């Protein structure tokens, strides 16, 4: 019985690795960055998130990071300015980081926009991007914070950038849209 369970766990892990590698291959195939830049950005993002998790002053669930060609974006909400300063300091120390840009809002005690609202907005924006055949939606990352949408990524045309912004802006409940999308 133990051998069967071990075999099933091993097969499940192998299937997960196979599926993940297929996703990574697809990401690279449609990506505007070359493979080296994409891999470097993935590593930068991973290291920053790992260090956010290890730091007691930066609350991991309140901050997110993404890197595009060494330009790091930190998105989130804070309780004190020292948290913001620490998050930026962490990012700047990571090898390969060229620049750090933030979109960080103060936490609101009485905010009607909660996690479920942010998830709902994320899903509706993502749906609009995925169903638009003129946009490579996998090249655009969406972050939602306090019902604000932040768009990140690298696209091939100015039309893709404008359309992504328009889609996000059209979703009911969105307070504001900030686009950090660049055109390559």
Shared-domain flag, residues 160 and 178: yes
Range of the domain at 128: 115-183
For residue 110, count other CB atoms closer than 10 A to its CB: 4
CATH at 62:
3.30.1340.30
Quote the CA–CA distance of 29 and 31 in Å, as a whole number.
6
- Token output for 39: 């891999």
Domain closes at, from 73, 106, 139: 106
Shared-domain flag, residues 96 and 122: no
Under a CB-based contact definition with an 8 Å cutoff, are residues 158 and 183 in contact? yes
Shared-domain flag, residues 91 and 58: yes
Q: Kindly report whether the global pTM for this prediction surpasses the value 0.85.
A: no
Chain segment 114-141, per-residue pLDDT in tens: 999 999 999 999 999 999 999 988 999 9
Residue 47 has pLDDT above 60, yes or no: yes
Shared-domain flag, residues 126 and 179: yes
| Torsion angle defined by CA atoms of residues 63, 48, 161 and 27, in that order, rounded to the nearest 10 degrees | -120
Chain segment 81-109, per-residue pLDDT in tens: 999 999 999 999 999 999 999 999 999 88
Under a CB-based contact definition with an 8 Å cutoff, are residues 51 and 95 in contact? no
Shared-domain flag, residues 93 and 128: no
Chain segment 148-176, per-residue pLDDT in tens: 999 999 999 999 999 999 999 999 999 99
Domain closes at, from 56, 75, 106: 106
């Amino acid at each position: 019985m133990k051998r069967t369970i071990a075999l099933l766990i091993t097969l499940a892990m192998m299937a997960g690795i196979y599926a993940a590698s297929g996703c990574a291959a697809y990401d690279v195939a449609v990506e505007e960055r070359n493979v080296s830049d994409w891999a470097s950005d993935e590593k930068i993002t991973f290291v920053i998130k790992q260090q956010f998790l290890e730091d007691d002053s930066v609350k991991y669930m309140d901050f997110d990071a993404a890197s595009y060609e060494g330009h790091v974006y930190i998105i989130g909400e804070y309780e004190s300015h020292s948290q913001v300063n620490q998050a930026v300091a962490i990012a700047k120390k990571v090898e390969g980081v060229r620049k750090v840009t933030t979109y960080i809002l103060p936490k609101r005690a009485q905010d009607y926009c909660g996690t479920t609202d942010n998830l709902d907005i994320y899903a509706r924006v993502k749906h609009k991007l995925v169903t638009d055949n003129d946009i490579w939606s996998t090249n655009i990352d969406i972050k939602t914070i306090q019902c604000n949408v932040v768009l990140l990524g690298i696209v091939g045309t100015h039309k893709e950038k404008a359309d992504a912004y328009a889609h996000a802006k059209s979703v009911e409940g969105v307070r504001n849209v900030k686009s950090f999308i660049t055109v390559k």
